[in-house]
Amino acid sequence: MASDPALLDIDLIHGYLVRAYWCKGIARETVERSLRNSLCLGLFESDKQIGFARVISDFGTFAYLCDVFVLEEHQGKGLGTWLIQCVMKHPELQGLRRWHLLTRDAHGLYGKVGFRAVAQPERHMELVELNPYQAEKS
């Protein structure tokens, strides 16, 4: 596990994210900007990156966990759970009041580390731009 930005394989990260359901078609420049402005952790086997997680946070009260992945050939070994546990134990992310994330299909994974459905959804609001990365290509 490494949080040093110099160790991250941006080609690998972009290559995964550009095809992920949550950000399909995302431009490399957008990925690079998001990495510069977030706490990023890479999961490595020897010196090869095999997974990734990104956290957007004020480092005092709130964190949004996003862009979590383990390459397909390394899934099913508990690495995703371990990656999330490492993220949540990161020294800069201790004592936060709230963590947030969105997922379509990994509720079981995140449930293992304590995430639950929003208890009071009537308090939560969002503004969503559907397919924003398609506009980037114009």
- Which residues form the domain of 62? 5-136
Each residue of 11-46: pLDDT tens digit? 999 999 999 999 999 999 999 999 999 999 999 999
Residues 132, 22: contact at Cβ < 8 Å?
no
Each residue of 66-91: pLDDT tens digit? 999 999 999 999 999 999 999 999 99
> What is the number of structural domains in the chain?
1
Separation between Cα atoms, residue 127 and residue 30, nearest integer Å: 19
Pairing of strands 98-100, 62-70: parallel
Mean pLDDT of the chain: 93
Residues 13, 52: contact at Cβ < 8 Å?
yes
* Terminal C-alpha separation, the chain: 37
Give this prediction's pTM: 0.90
